[in-house]
């Protein structure tokens, strides 16, 4: 970035900073959303809740299917890492 460009774009620097932070947060959330370790932990919690009677069979099956779909998608096309 040249000196003139830097001076002219200085007023929008805070906006660029906020956008950069938002992009980094989004990237981290996407990685966690597709992390197989996190998905397996969520499946274990779901199983424990079902065994303890905290959730119904229908709710268990619905959530299990959703988590297994995410786990399969994470294995087929893993999220890019920085």
Does residue 79 carry a pLDDT above 80?
A: no
Convert the pLDDT of each residue in 36-59 to its tens digit.
888 999 999 999 999 999 999 999
18-35 pLDDT, tens digit per residue, is: 888 999 999 888 888 888
Contact indicator for 43, 67 with CB cutoff of 8 Å: yes
- pLDDT of amino acid 11: 82
* Three-state DSSP class for residue 57: helix
- Nearest by Cα to 43 from 63, 57, 72, 69: 63
Q: Which of 40, 26, 45 is nearest to 75 (CA)?
A: 40
CA nearest 46: which of 55, 58, 36, 37?
55
Work out the end-to-end distance of the chain between its first and last CA atoms, rounded to an integer number of angstroms: 24
- Of 44, 14, 33, nearest to 74 by C-alpha is 33
9 pLDDT band (50/70/90 cuts)? confident
Answer yes or no: is pLDDT of 82 > 70. no
């Amino acid at each position: 970035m040249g000196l003139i460009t830097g001076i002219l774009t200085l007023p929008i620097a805070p906006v660029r900073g906020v956008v950069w932070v938002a992009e980094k947060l989004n990237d981290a959330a996407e990685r966690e959303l597709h992390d197989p370790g996190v998905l397996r932990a969520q499946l274990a919690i779901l199983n424990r809740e079902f065994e303890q009677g905290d959730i119904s069979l229908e709710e268990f099956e619905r959530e299990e299917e959703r988590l297994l779909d995410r786990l399969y998608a994470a294995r087929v096309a893993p999220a890019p890492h920085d």
